[in-house]
Amino acid sequence: MSNQLSITRPDDWHLHVRQGEMLKQVVGNSARYFGRALIMPNTVPPILNGSDALEYQAEILQATQQWPQFQPVMSIKLTMNTTAQMICEAAEAGVKAVKLYPTGATTNSQDGVELSRLKEMAENLVFDAMADYKMVLCIHAEQPSQSVFDREPYVIPFIEALLAWVPRLKRIVIEHVSTAKMAQFVASWPGRVAATVTAHHLYLTIEDLLGEELKPHYFCKPIVKTQRDQDSIWWYLKNNSNFFFGSDSAPHAQDAKEACSCSAGVYTAPMMLPLLAHMFEQHDMLDLLETFVAHRGADFYNFERNPDTITLVRSDEPMIESEESDRNTPRQMPLRKDDRIYWHVAD
Protein backbone atom coordinates (compact mmCIF):
# COMPACT_ATOMS: atom_id res chain seq x y z
CA MET A 1 0.00 0.00 0.00
CA SER A 2 1.37 3.38 -0.96
CA ASN A 3 1.71 5.94 1.79
CA GLN A 4 1.87 8.94 -0.46
CA LEU A 5 -0.39 10.13 -3.23
CA SER A 6 0.10 13.15 -5.47
CA ILE A 7 -2.88 14.21 -7.53
CA THR A 8 -3.89 17.10 -9.74
CA ARG A 9 -5.28 19.88 -7.54
CA PRO A 10 -8.96 19.04 -7.06
CA ASP A 11 -12.14 21.05 -7.68
CA ASP A 12 -15.32 21.08 -5.62
CA TRP A 13 -18.39 21.36 -7.86
CA HIS A 14 -20.90 22.09 -5.08
CA LEU A 15 -19.94 24.22 -2.10
CA HIS A 16 -21.69 26.43 0.45
CA VAL A 17 -19.46 29.13 1.91
CA ARG A 18 -22.20 31.29 3.49
CA GLN A 19 -21.66 35.02 4.05
CA GLY A 20 -20.11 37.54 6.42
CA GLU A 21 -18.38 36.15 9.51
CA MET A 22 -19.28 32.55 8.75
CA LEU A 23 -17.74 32.86 5.29
CA LYS A 24 -14.47 34.05 6.81
CA GLN A 25 -14.51 31.09 9.24
CA VAL A 26 -15.17 28.38 6.68
CA VAL A 27 -13.96 29.32 3.21
CA GLY A 28 -10.26 28.77 3.93
CA ASN A 29 -10.89 25.09 4.58
CA SER A 30 -11.73 24.73 0.90
CA ALA A 31 -9.66 27.53 -0.64
CA ARG A 32 -6.32 26.27 0.68
CA TYR A 33 -6.67 22.89 -1.08
CA PHE A 34 -8.98 23.32 -4.05
CA GLY A 35 -8.50 24.95 -7.43
CA ARG A 36 -12.12 25.80 -8.07
CA ALA A 37 -15.39 25.56 -6.24
CA LEU A 38 -18.88 26.05 -7.64
CA ILE A 39 -20.44 28.40 -5.10
CA MET A 40 -24.09 27.78 -4.26
CA PRO A 41 -26.46 30.76 -4.51
CA ASN A 42 -28.93 30.04 -1.67
CA THR A 43 -27.67 32.85 0.52
CA VAL A 44 -29.87 35.43 2.27
CA PRO A 45 -30.71 37.33 0.14
CA PRO A 46 -30.14 34.87 -2.71
CA ILE A 47 -27.80 35.28 -5.70
CA LEU A 48 -30.30 35.95 -8.47
CA ASN A 49 -28.42 37.72 -11.24
CA GLY A 50 -25.02 38.64 -12.60
CA SER A 51 -24.42 41.61 -10.36
CA ASP A 52 -25.33 39.63 -7.22
CA ALA A 53 -22.86 36.97 -8.35
CA LEU A 54 -20.05 39.46 -8.96
CA GLU A 55 -20.58 41.05 -5.56
CA TYR A 56 -20.58 37.66 -3.82
CA GLN A 57 -17.52 36.55 -5.78
CA ALA A 58 -15.68 39.69 -4.66
CA GLU A 59 -16.53 38.91 -1.02
CA ILE A 60 -15.16 35.38 -1.43
CA LEU A 61 -11.99 36.54 -3.20
CA GLN A 62 -11.43 39.10 -0.45
CA ALA A 63 -11.55 36.30 2.14
CA THR A 64 -9.27 33.96 0.17
CA GLN A 65 -6.44 36.28 -0.85
CA GLN A 66 -3.80 34.05 0.70
CA TRP A 67 -4.79 31.20 -1.65
CA PRO A 68 -4.58 32.91 -5.06
CA GLN A 69 -5.01 29.63 -6.96
CA PHE A 70 -8.57 29.38 -5.62
CA GLN A 71 -11.25 30.38 -8.11
CA PRO A 72 -14.87 30.69 -6.98
CA VAL A 73 -17.05 29.67 -9.93
CA MET A 74 -20.38 31.41 -9.57
CA SER A 75 -23.96 30.22 -9.94
CA ILE A 76 -27.30 31.99 -9.72
CA LYS A 77 -30.53 30.71 -8.28
CA LEU A 78 -33.47 30.02 -10.57
CA THR A 79 -36.79 31.37 -9.33
CA MET A 80 -40.20 31.70 -10.95
CA ASN A 81 -39.19 35.30 -11.71
CA THR A 82 -35.97 34.49 -13.58
CA THR A 83 -36.10 35.67 -17.19
CA ALA A 84 -34.07 34.70 -20.25
CA GLN A 85 -32.61 38.20 -20.16
CA MET A 86 -31.37 37.66 -16.58
CA ILE A 87 -29.72 34.41 -17.65
CA CYS A 88 -27.92 36.16 -20.54
CA GLU A 89 -26.71 38.98 -18.29
CA ALA A 90 -25.47 36.51 -15.70
CA ALA A 91 -23.58 34.56 -18.36
CA GLU A 92 -21.99 37.79 -19.60
CA ALA A 93 -20.87 38.44 -16.00
CA GLY A 94 -19.09 35.08 -15.96
CA VAL A 95 -21.69 32.97 -14.16
CA LYS A 96 -21.30 29.33 -15.25
CA ALA A 97 -24.26 27.58 -13.67
CA VAL A 98 -27.90 28.04 -12.73
CA LYS A 99 -29.23 26.22 -9.70
CA LEU A 100 -32.76 24.86 -9.63
CA TYR A 101 -34.22 24.20 -6.19
CA PRO A 102 -37.79 22.90 -6.14
CA THR A 103 -39.73 25.18 -3.79
CA GLY A 104 -38.98 24.30 -0.18
CA ALA A 105 -36.54 21.47 -0.98
CA THR A 106 -33.79 22.63 1.39
CA THR A 107 -32.18 25.57 3.23
CA ASN A 108 -33.42 28.93 1.86
CA SER A 109 -35.41 27.54 -1.06
CA GLN A 110 -38.90 28.92 -0.46
CA ASP A 111 -38.44 31.08 -3.57
CA GLY A 112 -37.48 28.08 -5.71
CA VAL A 113 -39.12 26.56 -8.77
CA GLU A 114 -42.46 24.80 -8.97
CA LEU A 115 -41.75 21.63 -10.94
CA SER A 116 -45.28 21.69 -12.38
CA ARG A 117 -44.41 24.98 -14.07
CA LEU A 118 -41.14 23.90 -15.72
CA LYS A 119 -42.80 23.87 -19.14
CA GLU A 120 -43.85 27.48 -18.71
CA MET A 121 -40.23 28.39 -17.96
CA ALA A 122 -39.08 26.43 -21.00
CA GLU A 123 -41.60 28.30 -23.15
CA ASN A 124 -40.22 31.57 -21.81
CA LEU A 125 -36.81 30.46 -23.19
CA VAL A 126 -35.13 30.49 -19.80
CA PHE A 127 -33.42 27.17 -20.52
CA ASP A 128 -32.64 28.11 -24.11
CA ALA A 129 -30.76 31.13 -22.78
CA MET A 130 -28.64 28.76 -20.67
CA ALA A 131 -28.00 26.66 -23.77
CA ASP A 132 -26.97 29.76 -25.76
CA TYR A 133 -24.18 30.39 -23.25
CA LYS A 134 -23.36 26.72 -22.59
CA MET A 135 -24.29 27.17 -18.95
CA VAL A 136 -24.82 24.18 -16.71
CA LEU A 137 -28.21 23.59 -15.09
CA CYS A 138 -27.67 22.21 -11.58
CA ILE A 139 -30.69 20.54 -10.01
CA HIS A 140 -31.44 19.81 -6.37
CA ALA A 141 -33.58 16.88 -7.41
CA GLU A 142 -36.06 16.51 -4.58
CA GLN A 143 -39.78 17.21 -4.41
CA PRO A 144 -40.43 18.06 -0.75
CA SER A 145 -44.14 17.15 -0.85
CA GLN A 146 -43.10 13.48 -1.22
CA SER A 147 -41.89 11.09 1.47
CA VAL A 148 -38.18 11.60 2.23
CA PHE A 149 -37.07 8.36 0.57
CA ASP A 150 -39.14 9.05 -2.57
CA ARG A 151 -38.33 12.72 -3.07
CA GLU A 152 -35.40 12.16 -5.40
CA PRO A 153 -36.78 9.50 -7.78
CA TYR A 154 -40.05 11.46 -7.98
CA VAL A 155 -38.26 14.24 -9.87
CA ILE A 156 -36.94 11.97 -12.65
CA PRO A 157 -39.99 12.33 -14.98
CA PHE A 158 -39.81 16.12 -14.67
CA ILE A 159 -36.16 16.08 -15.76
CA GLU A 160 -36.95 13.71 -18.62
CA ALA A 161 -39.64 16.11 -19.80
CA LEU A 162 -37.26 19.05 -19.59
CA LEU A 163 -34.64 17.18 -21.62
CA ALA A 164 -37.26 16.61 -24.31
CA TRP A 165 -38.61 20.18 -24.30
CA VAL A 166 -35.17 21.78 -24.52
CA PRO A 167 -32.98 19.53 -26.67
CA ARG A 168 -30.38 22.29 -26.91
CA LEU A 169 -29.73 22.16 -23.17
CA LYS A 170 -26.71 19.88 -23.16
CA ARG A 171 -25.40 19.91 -19.62
CA ILE A 172 -27.45 19.11 -16.54
CA VAL A 173 -26.01 18.10 -13.18
CA ILE A 174 -28.05 16.20 -10.61
CA GLU A 175 -26.55 17.48 -7.39
CA HIS A 176 -25.65 15.22 -4.47
CA VAL A 177 -27.06 12.03 -5.97
CA SER A 178 -28.37 9.87 -3.12
CA THR A 179 -30.40 7.00 -4.57
CA ALA A 180 -29.71 4.02 -6.83
CA LYS A 181 -32.67 5.03 -8.99
CA MET A 182 -31.31 8.49 -9.67
CA ALA A 183 -27.79 7.19 -10.28
CA GLN A 184 -29.21 4.81 -12.87
CA PHE A 185 -31.13 7.65 -14.50
CA VAL A 186 -28.00 9.81 -14.72
CA ALA A 187 -26.09 6.97 -16.34
CA SER A 188 -28.81 6.65 -18.97
CA TRP A 189 -27.99 10.13 -20.35
CA PRO A 190 -24.24 9.93 -20.98
CA GLY A 191 -22.61 13.27 -21.58
CA ARG A 192 -25.81 15.26 -21.13
CA VAL A 193 -26.68 14.48 -17.53
CA ALA A 194 -24.01 14.14 -14.85
CA ALA A 195 -24.10 13.88 -11.07
CA THR A 196 -22.12 15.32 -8.23
CA VAL A 197 -21.40 12.93 -5.40
CA THR A 198 -20.70 14.16 -1.87
CA ALA A 199 -18.26 12.62 0.59
CA HIS A 200 -20.97 12.22 3.21
CA HIS A 201 -23.32 10.32 0.91
CA LEU A 202 -20.40 7.97 0.19
CA TYR A 203 -19.64 7.67 3.91
CA LEU A 204 -22.97 7.56 5.75
CA THR A 205 -26.21 5.62 5.51
CA ILE A 206 -29.55 6.09 7.23
CA GLU A 207 -28.29 3.64 9.89
CA ASP A 208 -25.52 6.05 10.85
CA LEU A 209 -27.98 8.95 11.01
CA LEU A 210 -30.63 7.32 13.18
CA GLY A 211 -29.98 3.60 13.62
CA GLU A 212 -28.54 3.94 17.09
CA GLU A 213 -28.69 7.52 18.31
CA LEU A 214 -29.91 10.50 16.32
CA LYS A 215 -26.85 12.24 14.88
CA PRO A 216 -27.71 15.82 13.96
CA HIS A 217 -24.35 16.39 12.24
CA TYR A 218 -25.29 13.62 9.78
CA PHE A 219 -28.59 15.26 8.83
CA CYS A 220 -28.71 16.75 5.35
CA LYS A 221 -30.89 17.00 2.26
CA PRO A 222 -31.18 14.76 0.44
CA ILE A 223 -31.12 12.56 3.49
CA VAL A 224 -28.50 9.76 3.43
CA LYS A 225 -30.09 6.55 2.19
CA THR A 226 -29.63 2.79 2.46
CA GLN A 227 -26.50 0.70 2.08
CA ARG A 228 -27.87 -0.50 -1.27
CA ASP A 229 -28.21 3.05 -2.53
CA GLN A 230 -24.70 3.86 -1.35
CA ASP A 231 -23.24 0.73 -2.95
CA SER A 232 -24.90 1.68 -6.21
CA ILE A 233 -23.42 5.19 -6.12
CA TRP A 234 -19.96 3.75 -5.49
CA TRP A 235 -20.47 1.41 -8.45
CA TYR A 236 -21.42 4.23 -10.83
CA LEU A 237 -18.62 6.41 -9.52
CA LYS A 238 -16.19 3.61 -10.38
CA ASN A 239 -17.62 2.86 -13.80
CA ASN A 240 -19.02 6.11 -15.15
CA SER A 241 -17.10 9.32 -15.86
CA ASN A 242 -20.22 11.47 -15.42
CA PHE A 243 -20.10 11.04 -11.65
CA PHE A 244 -17.76 13.60 -10.13
CA PHE A 245 -17.04 15.30 -6.84
CA GLY A 246 -19.14 18.08 -5.29
CA SER A 247 -18.85 18.23 -1.51
CA ASP A 248 -22.09 20.02 -0.61
CA SER A 249 -20.18 20.97 2.52
CA ALA A 250 -22.86 23.03 4.27
CA PRO A 251 -21.87 24.65 7.56
CA HIS A 252 -24.40 25.73 10.17
CA ALA A 253 -23.65 27.07 13.65
CA GLN A 254 -23.57 24.27 16.22
CA ASP A 255 -26.59 25.84 17.87
CA ALA A 256 -28.57 25.39 14.66
CA LYS A 257 -27.55 21.73 14.33
CA GLU A 258 -27.88 20.57 17.93
CA ALA A 259 -31.42 21.85 18.31
CA CYS A 260 -35.07 20.77 18.40
CA SER A 261 -35.29 21.84 14.79
CA CYS A 262 -31.99 20.82 13.24
CA SER A 263 -30.80 22.58 10.07
CA ALA A 264 -29.97 20.35 7.11
CA GLY A 265 -26.35 20.22 6.03
CA VAL A 266 -23.12 18.33 6.77
CA TYR A 267 -19.93 20.32 7.22
CA THR A 268 -17.13 18.27 5.71
CA ALA A 269 -14.77 20.89 4.27
CA PRO A 270 -12.07 20.82 7.01
CA MET A 271 -11.53 17.05 6.60
CA MET A 272 -12.47 16.69 2.94
CA LEU A 273 -9.40 15.29 1.20
CA PRO A 274 -8.27 13.02 4.06
CA LEU A 275 -11.83 11.65 4.30
CA LEU A 276 -11.99 10.98 0.56
CA ALA A 277 -8.58 9.27 0.53
CA HIS A 278 -9.66 7.18 3.53
CA MET A 279 -12.86 6.01 1.81
CA PHE A 280 -11.28 5.39 -1.58
CA GLU A 281 -8.56 3.35 0.11
CA GLN A 282 -11.17 1.28 1.93
CA HIS A 283 -12.93 0.65 -1.38
CA ASP A 284 -9.61 -0.26 -2.99
CA MET A 285 -10.10 2.63 -5.40
CA LEU A 286 -7.30 5.05 -4.47
CA ASP A 287 -6.20 5.05 -8.11
CA LEU A 288 -9.57 6.61 -9.05
CA LEU A 289 -9.45 9.45 -6.52
CA GLU A 290 -7.68 11.86 -8.86
CA THR A 291 -10.06 11.44 -11.78
CA PHE A 292 -13.07 11.75 -9.42
CA VAL A 293 -11.96 14.94 -7.63
CA ALA A 294 -9.80 16.64 -10.23
CA HIS A 295 -10.54 15.54 -13.80
CA ARG A 296 -14.15 14.64 -14.51
CA GLY A 297 -15.79 17.79 -13.14
CA ALA A 298 -13.37 20.15 -14.87
CA ASP A 299 -13.94 18.27 -18.12
CA PHE A 300 -17.73 18.46 -17.78
CA TYR A 301 -17.65 22.18 -16.95
CA ASN A 302 -15.24 22.86 -19.83
CA PHE A 303 -12.38 24.09 -17.67
CA GLU A 304 -8.74 23.17 -18.07
CA ARG A 305 -7.67 20.73 -15.39
CA ASN A 306 -5.67 22.48 -12.65
CA PRO A 307 -1.97 22.81 -13.52
CA ASP A 308 -0.51 21.95 -10.11
CA THR A 309 -0.76 19.02 -7.71
CA ILE A 310 -1.35 18.35 -4.05
CA THR A 311 0.04 15.49 -2.03
CA LEU A 312 -1.71 13.30 0.49
CA VAL A 313 0.32 11.35 3.01
CA ARG A 314 -0.70 8.37 5.12
CA SER A 315 0.81 8.66 8.58
CA ASP A 316 0.84 6.51 11.71
CA GLU A 317 -1.09 9.02 13.75
CA PRO A 318 -4.84 9.37 13.20
CA MET A 319 -6.47 12.70 12.47
CA ILE A 320 -7.56 14.45 15.64
CA GLU A 321 -11.19 15.49 15.50
CA SER A 322 -11.60 19.07 16.58
CA GLU A 323 -14.51 19.72 18.89
CA GLU A 324 -15.57 23.28 18.47
CA SER A 325 -16.57 24.94 21.73
CA ASP A 326 -17.99 28.13 20.22
CA ARG A 327 -21.70 27.53 19.61
CA ASN A 328 -21.76 30.02 16.75
CA THR A 329 -19.11 28.07 14.89
CA PRO A 330 -19.90 25.08 12.71
CA ARG A 331 -18.60 21.70 13.78
CA GLN A 332 -17.11 19.39 11.20
CA MET A 333 -18.78 16.05 10.58
CA PRO A 334 -17.82 13.64 13.39
CA LEU A 335 -16.40 10.34 12.19
CA ARG A 336 -18.39 7.16 12.59
CA LYS A 337 -17.84 5.27 15.81
CA ASP A 338 -14.37 3.71 16.02
CA ASP A 339 -13.35 5.08 12.66
CA ARG A 340 -9.91 6.66 12.24
CA ILE A 341 -8.43 8.60 9.35
CA TYR A 342 -4.70 8.34 8.79
CA TRP A 343 -4.45 10.49 5.67
CA HIS A 344 -3.58 14.16 5.71
CA VAL A 345 -2.62 16.77 3.17
CA ALA A 346 1.13 17.39 3.06
CA ASP A 347 2.12 21.01 3.66
Residues that bind Zn ion (CB under 5 A): 248
Q: How many CB atoms lie within 10 A of CB 119?
A: 13
Nearer to Zn ion, 7 or 73 (CB): 73
Q: Please, what is the minimum distance in Å from the beta carbon of residue 332 to Zn ion?
A: 16
CA distance linking residue 13 with residue 305, whole number of Å: 13
Local structure of 74: helix, strand or coil: strand
Active site residue 231: no
Nearer to Zn ion, 77 or 344 (CB): 77
DSSP result, 110-150: TTSB-GGGHHHHHHTTHHHHHHHTTPEEEE----TTS-TTT
Catalytic residue among 150, 208, 248, 338: 248
Nearest to 12, CA basis, from 44, 35, 40, 46: 35
Least gap, CB of 242 to Zn ion (angstroms): 19
Give the shortest CB-224-to-Zn ion separation in angstroms.
14
Instruction: Please identify, using beta-carbon distances, which residue of 186 and 220 lies nearer to Zn ion.
Output: 220
Closest residue to Zn ion using C-beta atoms: 248
> Taking the complex as a whole, how short is the minimal distance between the CB of residue 14 and Zn ion, in angstroms?
6
Residue 186 in contact with residue 233, Cβ under 8 Å?
Answer: no
Beta strands in the chain (DSSP E): 4-8, 11-15, 36-39, 71-78, 97-100, 136-139, 172-174, 193-197, 243-245, 309-314, 343-345
CB 300 to Zn ion: min, Å: 18
Residue pair 250/202 in contact (Cβ under 8 Å)? The answer is: no
Q: Which is nearer to Zn ion, 11 or 248 (CB)?
A: 248
Cβ distance to Zn ion smaller for residue 195 or 312? 195
Cα 197 vs. chain centroid, distance in angstroms?
7
Catalytic residues: 248
